[in-house]
């Protein structure tokens, strides 16, 4: 199985997501295990309350942020395997026609687990680089006794080795499931992909473009999810970074901001590039029938814009609810914690930056659509 440069870029995106998940989980689980060693040394009531708040924070952040990132990595891996099979139906159909068993072909998809391993190792190492500073900031007021940084082999097992094995197995099983179709059907779907688009070209322009826009969103539900998710990450993490600076530490706020922006742009890039890549034949046929690049872009990409802003609203509500839980539940008995109120300024700034970034991304991919060569697609 060949993995080209474009495939490598998408796998790099999966590695980044896995790295962010392992970075967050490793830091907070390691901190949680290390802080348990000083429980007997915490004697005063104020220190006991602060200690319980730190333990609860580690649990909440690890479960909510780390868990969501791990689930997203799994969904993104399955999505990309599906996309890879859809794009390479012809080659895979030929292999099945030549007599290769489905499991033998699917067995080569274990290499997709390498992207998880790479990201997990980088995230694990990055966590130990940041943890000395993280430990210092978590106890910067000296309320608790000194927290020593320890290495826990179980964290390496649970967050690096087991996910690599699990995701490699998941890649093989999911590929095997997707390749259950007969060889002839794989080849026929590849040949008929463009014909379906061309068959409606005789209808009126506006109904056809509108129908294409709706069908693109309706048939690409996974892509629609990732467009929504990218906006969700951008909105939640950018706004949460302002709150975390006040409630936790400036380092935590910067981490939330960097991870949120990375996830947002990675998921947006992977999703939109998959939309364009999966519709190259449709775009080529539209160009043959006289549609401009702008019309092609509008029919394929404009349908996702409402979902992007719905994701932004959901991210805003999520970050507000999570921060309220931290203030009202986790830090309820801790003195000196500021009262958290909804930050309209942060929301407006985040919305403005998101709108500019999203429209710039759509402009970039719109120009990419305009450069698609009809001749190259037809020769392919």
Cβ atoms of residues 96 and 179 within 8 Å: yes
pLDDT at 318: 85
pLDDT at 191: 52
DSSP letter string, 97-144: HTT--HHHHHHGGGGHHHHHHHHHHHHHHHHHHHHHHHHHHHTTT--S
Q: Tens of pLDDT along the chain (380 residues)?
A: 555 555 666 678 778 878 887 888 888 889 889 998 888 888 888 788 888 878 877 777 776 666 666 676 667 667 777 777 777 777 777 888 888 888 888 888 787 788 889 989 999 999 999 999 888 888 887 888 888 899 999 999 988 998 888 888 888 887 788 778 777 776 665 555 444 444 444 444 456 677 777 776 666 676 777 788 778 878 887 887 777 766 666 777 777 777 777 777 777 777 677 667 666 777 777 777 777 777 777 777 777 888 889 999 998 998 888 778 777 776 666 666 667 778 888 899 889 988 888 888 888 877 777 776 666 666 55
pLDDT at 3: 54
pLDDT at 284: 73
Count CB atoms within 10 A of the CB of residue 2: 7
**Which of 262, 254, 230, 241 lies closest to 349 in space, CA to CA?**
241
pLDDT at 151: 92
Measured between alpha carbons, how far apart are the two ends of the chain, in Å? 19
User: Residue 186 phi/psi, 5° resolution?
Assistant: -60, -45
Cβ atoms of residues 233 and 267 within 8 Å: yes
Count CB atoms within 10 A of the CB of residue 262: 17
Burial class of residue 153 (count of CB atoms within 10 Å of its CB; 0-12, 13-18, 19+): exposed
pLDDT at 202: 44
* Residue spans per domain, the chain: 1-188, 199-380
pLDDT at 197: 44
Count CB atoms within 10 A of the CB of residue 107: 15
pLDDT at 153: 93
């Amino acid at each position: 199985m060949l993995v080209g440069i474009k495939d490598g870029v998408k796998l790099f995106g999966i590695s980044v997501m896995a790295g962010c998940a392992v970075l967050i989980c490793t830091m907070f689980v390691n901190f949680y295990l290390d802080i348990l060693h000083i429980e007997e040394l915490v004697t005063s009531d104020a220190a006991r309350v602060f200690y319980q708040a730190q333990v609860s924070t580690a649990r909440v952040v690890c479960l909510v942020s780390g868990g969501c990132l791990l689930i997203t990595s799994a969904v993104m891996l399955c999505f990309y395997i599906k996309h890879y099979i859809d794009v390479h139906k012809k080659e895979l159909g030929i292999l099945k026609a030549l007599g290769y068993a489905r499991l033998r072909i699917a067995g080569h998809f274990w290499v997709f687990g390498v992207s998880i391993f790479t990201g997990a190792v980088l995230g694990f190492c990055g966590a130990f680089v940041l943890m000395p500073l993280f430990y210092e900031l978590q106890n910067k007021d000296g309320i608790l006794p000194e927290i020593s940084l320890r290495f826990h082999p179980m964290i390496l097992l649970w967050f690096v080795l087991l996910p690599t094995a699990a995701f490699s197995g998941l890649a093989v099983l999911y590929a095997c499931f997707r390749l259950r179709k007969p060889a002839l059907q794989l080849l026929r779907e590849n040949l008929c992909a463009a014909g379906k688009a061309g068959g409606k070209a005789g209808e009126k322009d506006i109904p056809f473009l509108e129908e294409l826009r709706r069908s693109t969103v309706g048939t690409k539900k996974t892509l629609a999810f990732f467009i929504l998710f990218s906006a969700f990450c951008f909105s939640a993490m950018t706004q949460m970074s302002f709150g975390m600076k006040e409630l936790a530490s400036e380092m935590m706020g910067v981490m939330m901001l960097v991870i949120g922006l990375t996830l947002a742009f990675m998921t947006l890039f992977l999703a939109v590039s998959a939309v364009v890549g999966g519709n190259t034949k449709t775009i080529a046929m539209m160009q043959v029938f006289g549609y401009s690049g702008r019309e092609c872009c509008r029919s394929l990409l404009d349908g996702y814009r409402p979902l992007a802003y719905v994701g932004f609203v959901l991210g805003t509500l999520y970050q507000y609810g999570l921060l309220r839980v931290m203030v009202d539940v986790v830090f309820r008995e801790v003195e000196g914690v500021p009262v958290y109120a909804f930050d309209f300024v942060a929301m407006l700034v985040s919305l403005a930056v998101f709108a500019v970034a999203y429209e710039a991304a759509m402009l970039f991919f719109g120009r990419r659509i305009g450069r698609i060569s009809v001749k190259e697609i037809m020769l392919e």
